Amino acid sequence: MATALPTFALKNAVADYGEERVLGPLNLRLAPGEHLALVGKSGAGKSSLLAVMYDHWHAQGAALMPQDLGLVANLSVFHNVYMGRLDRHPWWRNLLTLARPLKGDIAEIDALLTQLGIQEKRWTPCGELSGGQRQRVAAARVLYQQGRILLADEPVSALDGPQAESVIRALLATYSMSVLAMHDLDLALHFCTRVIGIQDGAIAVDAPSRTLTTADLMPLY
Q: CATH code at 195?
A: 3.40.50.300
Q: Which of 5-14, 24-33, 66-75, 128-137 has the lowest mean pLDDT?
A: 5-14
Amino acid symbol at 155: P
Give the predicted TM-score (pTM) of the model: 0.93
Q: Give Cα 135 to chain centroid, integer Å.
A: 11
Q: Is residue 199 part of a domain?
A: yes
State the pLDDT at residue 18.
Answer: 86
Asked whether residue 180 is assigned to any structural domain, the reply reads: yes
**50 in any annotated domain:** no
Residue 21 lies in a domain: no
Q: Residue 121 in contact with residue 113, Cβ under 8 Å?
A: yes
| pLDDT value of position 7 | 78
pLDDT digits (tens, 9 = 90+) for 169-218: 999 999 999 999 999 999 999 999 999 999 999 999 999 999 999 999 99
For helices 161-174 and 131-145, what crossing angle results, to 10°?
A: 10
pLDDT of residue 19: 86
**Domain containing residue 96:** 33-43+63-220
pLDDT tens digits, residue range 26-61? 999 999 999 999 999 998 999 999 999 999 999 999
Least Cα distance to 205 among 195, 213, 191 occurs for: 195
Whether the predicted pLDDT of 116 surpasses 80: yes
Asked if the structure places residue 58 within a domain, the reply is no
Domain-located, residue 118 = yes
Answer yes or no: is pLDDT of 1 > 50: no
pLDDT tens-place string over residues 69-81: 999 999 999 999 9
Of residues 19, 15, 27, 81, the one with CA closest to residue 203? 27
Number of compact structural domains in the chain: 1
Place 137 in a pLDDT band, splitting at 50, 70 and 90: very high
